[in-house]
A and B are shown apart, each in its own frame.
Chain A
Amino acid sequence: MSYKDSYFHAVFWRQFKANPLAVAGGALVVILFAVSLLAPFIARHSPDTINAWHVLAPPSWEHWFGTDELGRDVFSRVVYGARISLKVGFVAVGIAVVIGTAVGLVSGYYNGLTDGALMRIVDIMLCFPAFFLILAVITFLEPSIWYIMLVIGLTGWMGVARLVRAETMSIREMDYIMASRCIGCSDGRIILRHILPNVLSPVLVSATLGVAGAILTESALSFLGIGVQPPTPSWGNILTSGKDYIEFAWWLSFFPGLSILVTVLAYNLLGEGIRDALDPKVEKR
C-alpha cells in the first residue's frame, strides 16, 4: 500500500525539485537522450550525404547549423554525434562503476592485507596521467569506439573504488551489519544485500559526474584524430574538421563545441543536484 513512501519519494525527490539548476540539468539530459534515440526523425538530412553544391553553406532554414566542407548537414551530424557521446559516456562509466564498486566493497569490507593490496593498485593506477595513458593505449590498438569506451572505463574506476571503500568502512560498523551477522548472513550476502544498497547513492553522484568526464575525453580523443574515425560523426571529429575553416565557417566548430559544453554542463548540474538532494546536511528546511 505504501510502496511510494520510499526514501526516494520522501526525501530525495522533494530536495531535488527545490533546486532549479539540478532540474535544468536533468531536463537537458532527458532532451539529449531523446535526441539521440530519435536521431533519424530529428535530423532532416542523412549525416553522410555529400552535396558538392552546398559546401560550407552558412546556417539557413534548410541547414540549421550550416554545411561542412563536403556539403554535409552539420545539424544532422551533431544529432548523430550525440548518440556516440551518450554511448561512450554510459558504457565507459558503467565499466568504471562496476570495477570501482567491486574493488571498493571488497577492500572496505575485508580490511588488512586485501585492503592494502587493492589500495596500492589504486595508488599505482592514479600515478599515471589518465589522458596520456589512454592516448598511448589507443595508438597501439586500432581506433574503435569500443576500445575507447573500454580504456576510459579501465582508467577511471579508482575514484569510485576509494569512495565506495570509505563508505563501506563506515557502514560495516553499523549495528545492522552486526545483526545480519547474528542471524547468519554470509559475507557475500552482507556485502550485496546490506552494504551495496547503502553505498549506491554516492556512486550515483560520481557516475553522473563521470559521464561528463568520459564525454569530454572522447571528444578530445576524436579531436586529436585517434578517437571515433570519420566519416562516423562525433562532436570531437566535427570540431577537428571545423578548425581548418574557422576563419570563414565558424558554424562548423561552434555547434559541436556548444553541444559538448551544454552536455557536460548538464551532467555536472544533474550530478551536483543529486548529491545535494542525497546529502541530509544540505537539507534546507
Chain B
Amino acid sequence: MNSEKNRIECINITKSFKVRGGAFSRPVTLKALDKVQIAVGKSETTGIAGESGCGKSTLGRIISALLTADSGELLFDGRPLSTLSKPEFASFRRKTQMIFQDPYSSLNPRMRIGDIIAEPFVIAGDKGATSPGSTVEKLMEKVGLSPDQKHRFPHQFSGGQRQRIGIARALAANPEIIVADEPVSSLDISVQAQILNLLQEMKREFDLSMVMISHDLSVLRHICDSMSIMYLGAIVETGKSGDIFDGFMHPYTEVLIAAIPGIRKREVKKPLLKGEIPSPLRIPEGCRFHTRCSYAGQICGKLEPLLEEKRPGHFVACHLSDSIFG
C-alpha cells in the first residue's frame, strides 16, 4: 500500500464503545473496530462487506470524520488527520461526503429539497445557490430530478428519488471522497440498479474516490475496484475485486459469495456457516471466525491470524487458507 496513490488510508484504526446493560450493571466495552487497515485509491471505488454489526458503518463514519478513532491514524492524501489545522480539517470534512442507507431519515422533513441541496453552498457563503439556472438546478438535473421540484418537501418523493436528493446534496459540497453506507439496501431492486448507475456516473464525472459499504456482495462486485471483507470488527480479506470474487482465500468470503443468489462459480462443498454471529461484546479467542468456520482446526481457537499478503495485493487473515484454497 503506497501512500502516494491513496486518497485515504486507515492505519490500525481501533474504536470501541462503552455499552451499559442496565442501570446497575457495569459498562462493557464493545470493540467495534480492531486494528483496521484500509486504503482508498484516487478515483477508485473500495468496497467494504460484512454482516450487520461487523463494524462497516463505524468504519465509514471514521473515514468521513463523523467519529474519531480511539487509536490509529487516518491519512488524507498521505497526511495524518491529527496534524491538520482547524480550517484544514473543515475542508477535509467537506471533501468527504456521506450517502446514507435510509433515505427517509437522511433528509430533514421540514426543509424544501432546493434548500437541502443548496445548504452546502450556503455554508460556503454562496447565497444565491437556489436561483433559477443556478448550480442547484444543474445538480438536480444531473442526478435525474426535475428542477421545478425544488419547492417540494422530502415526503413527496419516493425512496429512490430521496436517495438522488441525498446524492445531490453530497455532490453540492464538491467532495473528493464519497462514503456510501448501504446506499441501495432499502430500495426496490429495480431502483437499486438506477442508483448504482447514477453513483458510477457521478464518480466518473466528478473524479471521486468512493467507499461502498454493503452487506450485499452482488452490489459491490459490479462497481468496486478493490474490496475488504470484515468480520466482527476486523478485516479478514482484502484485495482487488476480481481476485476476491474469483480467488477468495478466506472461508468467510466463501460463505458470503456462496450466499449471492444465482452465482455458483465454485461448487459449494459443505454447509458453510454454523450458528449465529457471536456478540461483539465477547469476540472469540484466536481467529474470530473459528466458532462458525467449517474448516476450523486446532490452531484457529488459539492464535489470532494476521493479514498476510498471499498473492500480490491480496491479503488474507487465515491460518489454513493455503491448505483450503491453495
Residue positions of A touching B, CB distance < 8 A = 1-3, 5-7, 10, 174-176, 178-185, 189, 193-194, 197-198
> How close is B148's CB to chain A, nearest CB, in angstroms?
7
A198 to B98, alpha carbons, bound, how many Å? 22
A180 to B107, alpha carbons, bound, how many Å? 10
A181: chain B residues within 8 A (beta carbon): 66, 93
Contact status A2-B152, CB under 8 Å: yes
Q: Which of A1, A3, A175, A181 has the most CB of B within 10 A?
A: A175
Q: Which residues of chain B from 158 to 179 have any CB-CB distance to chain A below 8 Å in the complex?
A: 166, 169-170, 172-173
Q: Which of B110, B123, B124, B153 has the most CB of A within 10 A?
A: B110
Instruction: Judge if B156 is at the interface, Cβ distance under 8 Å.
Output: yes
Contact status B169-A183, CB under 8 Å: yes
Contact status A5-B156, CB under 8 Å: yes
Contact status B153-A7, CB under 8 Å: yes
Residues 70-94 of chain B, each 1 if its beta carbon lies under 8 Å from chain A, else 0: 0000000000000000000010011
12 A-B pairs within 8 Å (CB atoms) are namely A2-B156, A5-B153, A175-B102, A176-B106, A179-B100, A180-B108, A182-B94, A182-B96, A182-B170, A183-B123, A183-B173, A184-B124
Are A178 and B152 also in contact (CB < 8 A) when A183-B119, A184-B120, A198-B110 are? Answer: no
Q: Which one, B100, B102, B156, B172, contacts A183 given CB within 8 A?
A: B172
Contact status B106-A179, CB under 8 Å: yes
A185: chain B residues within 8 A (beta carbon): 119, 123
Are A182 and B108 also in contact (CB < 8 A) when A3-B151, A5-B152 are? Answer: no
> How close is B180's CB to chain A, nearest CB, in angstroms?
12
Chain B interface extent, by class: 20 to 34
Instruction: Judge if B105 is at the interface, Cβ distance under 8 Å.
Output: yes
Q: A175-B106, A178-B100, A183-B94 are known contacts; what are 10 more A-B pairs with Cβ within 8 Å?
A: A175-B100, A175-B102, A179-B170, A182-B98, A182-B173, A183-B120, A183-B123, A184-B90, A184-B94, A184-B120
B166: chain A residues within 8 A (beta carbon): 179
A178: chain B residues within 8 A (beta carbon): 61, 66, 98, 100, 106
Instruction: Judge if B127 is at the interface, Cβ distance under 8 Å.
Output: no
A176: chain B residues within 8 A (beta carbon): 105-108
Instruction: Judge if B228 is at the interface, Cβ distance under 8 Å.
Output: no
A176 to B105, alpha carbons, bound, how many Å? 6
A197 to B108, alpha carbons, bound, how many Å? 9
> How close is B58's CB to chain A, nearest CB, in angstroms?
13
Residues 125-164 of chain B, each 1 if its beta carbon lies under 8 Å from chain A, else 0: 0000000000000000000000010011101100000000
B66: chain A residues within 8 A (beta carbon): 178, 181-182
A179: chain B residues within 8 A (beta carbon): 98, 100, 106, 166, 169-170
**A-B residue pairs, 10 tightest by C-beta:** A175-B106, A197-B110, A175-B100, A183-B120, A176-B108, A175-B105, A183-B173, A174-B105, A184-B94, A184-B123
A185 to B64, alpha carbons, bound, how many Å? 14
A6 to B105, alpha carbons, bound, how many Å? 18
Are A184 and B173 also in contact (CB < 8 A) when A1-B151, A2-B151 are? Answer: yes
> How close is A115's CB to chain B, nearest CB, in angstroms?
16
B98: chain A residues within 8 A (beta carbon): 178-179, 182
Are A198 and B93 also in contact (CB < 8 A) when A178-B100, A184-B120, A185-B119 are? Answer: no
Instruction: Judge if B109 is at the interface, Cβ distance under 8 Å.
Output: yes
A179 to B93, alpha carbons, bound, how many Å? 11
> How close is A198's CB to chain B, nearest CB, in angstroms?
6
Instruction: Judge if B14 is at the interface, Cβ distance under 8 Å.
Output: no
> How close is B276's CB to chain A, nearest CB, in angstroms?
26
Instruction: Judge if B97 is at the interface, Cβ distance under 8 Å.
Output: yes
A108 to B109, alpha carbons, bound, how many Å? 20
